[in-house]
């Protein structure tokens, strides 16, 4: 027979009181990257029809706030009840062509974190070139040395190309910056992929960024070159932050107040970087750790999650 406590627990879950309680004092910062008509499994993409469902659901059920406002509410102890903020990392063109029209139509604010070297040059970030190389190589397998061990990576099916690229991405994220760049070059050589022109035109242009900034979209820094910040020195980290902020500020004529850690898991940054961000004038920074934010959250380590991931909405 079920205990009284068990019965109460069952009732709370069934009546969604848990869900409401969960949302009352916390907010969710949603992490998007790319939006696509037909998502490529090698890229962090969400299908546009699914994104549309998300934003309609958010507009109908939540207070969608600019990220800066969420940070203010956390700082000032104001209500976070059913608050969410929408964010996109990296600065891909499809944020403008596919996501922005929906956001504009629904009057929803969002923040896009820009990798400024990529915006300035029009070149995609290194991890996109890396995925592209694994997706398009004509090789059927490669042999690589990781941590002193020789690995044979099969490349005969889409599934094992993905799996092989995931294994190598894990390895790349743990390497020091120069070693990571060297490994990347040697992978392109092994995969025999050196033409990335198919990736031209993937990134936002400043004109589009300026247009969006006039209509509810704000822009945050995401470093200049998207390094793993726990694998570079603190002066290098400060340089990455400053360059990224200055480039955005020079194009938009506005101060940059928000920052997203590249890759964003706890092992991809370190606590000293928060002090650098603060010194540079950043008022809040987001990670990709799956967590809702509340009044106890650090403004320099705000997790990101979808509300329906954490509490079944």
Residue ranges that bind Zn ion, judged by CB under 5 A: 89-90, 262
222/296 Cα distance (integer angstroms)? 24
- As measured in angstroms, the least distance from the Cβ of 260 to Zn ion is 7
The CB-of-16 to Zn ion minimum distance in angstroms stands at 34
For residue 150, the minimal CB distance to Zn ion (Å) is: 30
**CA–CA gap between residue 211 and residue 66 (Å, rounded):** 17
- Residue pair 118/247 in contact (Cβ under 8 Å)? The answer is no
The residue to which tokens 């923040």 are assigned = 111
Among residues 263, 249, 243, 246, which one has the least CA distance to residue 218? 249
Query: Minimal distance in Å, beta carbon 89 to Zn ion?
Result: 4
CB of residue 90 to Zn ion, shortest distance in Å: 5
Pick between residue 89 and residue 238 the one whose CB is nearest to Zn ion: 89
Nearer to Zn ion, 45 or 90 (CB): 90
Q: Which two tokens stand for residue 157?
A: 């099916």
Please identify, using beta-carbon distances, which residue of 62 and 262 lies nearer to Zn ion.
262
In the bound state, the residue with its beta carbon closest to Zn ion is 89
- Structure tokens of 85? 């903020």
Closest residue by Cα to residue 279 from 229, 234, 226: 234
Q: Which is nearer to Zn ion, 46 or 151 (CB)?
A: 46
Nearest of 169, 159, 73 to residue 128 by alpha carbon = 169
CA distances 313 to 16, 74, 144, 169, Å, are 9, 23, 43, 32
Find out whether 175 and 97 touch, Cβ atoms under 8 Å.
no
Dist. CA 299–CA 150, nearest whole Å: 42
Nearer to Zn ion, 54 or 265 (CB): 265
Smallest distance, Å, CB 33 to Zn ion? 7
Q: Which is nearer to Zn ion, 23 or 128 (CB)?
A: 128
């Amino acid at each position: 027979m079920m205990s009284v406590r068990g019965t109460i627990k069952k009732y709370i879950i069934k009546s969604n009181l848990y869900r409401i309680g969960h949302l009352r004092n916390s907010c969710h910062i949603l992490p998007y990257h790319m939006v696509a008509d037909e998502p490529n499994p090698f890229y962090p993409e969400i299908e546009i029809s699914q994104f549309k469902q998300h934003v309609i659901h958010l507009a109908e059920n939540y207070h969608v706030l600019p990220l800066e406002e969420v940070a203010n509410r956390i700082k000032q102890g104001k209500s976070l009840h059913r608050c969410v903020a929408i964010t996109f990392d990296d600065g891909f063109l499809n944020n403008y062509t596919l996501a922005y029209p929906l956001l504009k139509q629904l009057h929803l604010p969002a923040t896009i974190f820009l990798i400024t070297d990529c915006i300035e040059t029009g070149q995609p970030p290194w991890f996109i070139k890396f995925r592209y190389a694994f997706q398009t190589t004509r090789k059927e397998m490669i042999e690589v040395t990781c941590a002193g061990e020789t690995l044979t990576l099969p490349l005969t099916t889409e599934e094992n190309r993905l799996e092989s690229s995931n294994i190598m991405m894990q390895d790349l994220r743990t390497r020091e910056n120069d070693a990571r760049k060297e490994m990347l070059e040697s992978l392109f050589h092994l995969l025999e992929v050196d033409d990335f022109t198919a990736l031209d035109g993937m990134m936002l242009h400043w004109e589009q960024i300026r247009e969006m900034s006039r209509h509810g979209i704000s822009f945050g820094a995401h470093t200049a070159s998207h390094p793993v910040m726990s694998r570079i020195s603190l002066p290098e980290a400060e340089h990455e932050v400053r360059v990224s902020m200055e480039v955005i500020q020079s194009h938009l004529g506005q101060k940059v107040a928000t920052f997203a850690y590249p890759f964003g898991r706890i092992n991809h940054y370190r606590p000293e970087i928060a002090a650098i961000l603060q010194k540079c004038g950043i008022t809040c920074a987001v990670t990709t750790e799956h967590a809702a934010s509340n009044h106890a959250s650090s403004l320099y380590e705000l997790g990101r999650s979808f509300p329906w991931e954490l509490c079944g909405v």
